[in-house]
Amino acid sequence: MKNRYEDLLEYYDELFPVEKKRMEFIEFLTKNLDPSRPFRVLDIGCATGTTALYLARQGMDLVGIDVNETMIQSANRRNREPKSNARFFCMDMRACRSYFPAASFDMILCLGNSLACLNSKGEIDSLFRQVRELLVQDGVFVFELLNYDRIVVGKSGEIPPKETVRVNLTQRYNTIPDGHIRLSTAVLSLNGYPVFSEDTLLYPVGSRELSSLLRNAPLSGEPFYRDFDKNPLSREAVTLVGTARKD
């Protein structure tokens, strides 16, 4: 039986393409690679694998994990290059340490608001501690999510929409009494035909809480940015980008 994510797959990479600035940001962090061994990267919440496959083509060893089986199947279908450096697995990020030995990765990515899909501060704290265990010494953690400092508790609003040559993406949010946010996502064709819709509960972790959780891990966090151009974070920014290291 076809599931609803299969309807989204046709348009997913149009809506969320490989972004040049994001790749340049990541590649800058790897500029001092040791050529004597592979640079190992874990992509948490890899979706259809476009970021992981791009980095694998640059010579890095990639492992992509996602809890959504449809996304992982899509990633594996496109991972057909001979001697590919990428592997994809359907896994829950909340238990990522149980899948891999300690110090398995030089870099861990968690992009595209995946962090906020965790249910609580405690789950984010647990993930950060697992990230630390999985990183080698001086390994780097790169994360991206919506800037929840921008979202006023008790209010509703919307994320800036996206439009491709075939579809529109809209995302509206409402805060709910328990402190979570309900994000309603809709993808419509340009003639208004519904392609995909989903309501997701998110934990709105703000910049101060992120800083505290990184210190507790412990991971050495650097200043947060509003984008991959390293512009300083402001309350009005739509996204938050951060890096942290295992000292």
The model's pLDDT over 100-121, given as tens digits with 9 standing for 90+, comes to 999 999 999 999 999 999 999 9
Torsion of CA 115, 169, 57, 49, to 10 degrees: 50
pTM metric for this prediction = 0.95
- Cβ distance 188 to 166 under 8 Å? no
Cα end-to-end span (Å), the chain: 48
Q: How confident is the model at residue 4 (pLDDT cuts 50, 70, 90)?
A: low
Query: Is residue 2 pLDDT above 90, yes or no?
Result: no
pLDDT value for 1: 37
**230 is written with which tokens?**
């390293």
Show Cβ contacts of residue 151 under 8 Å, excluding neighbours closer than 6 positions.
157, 173, 175, 181, 204
Cite the beta strand spans of 91-189 per DSSP E: 105-110, 135-146, 156-163, 167-175, 181-189
What is the average per-residue pLDDT within 218-238? 95
pLDDT value for 156: 87
Q: What percent of the chain has pLDDT over 70?
A: 97
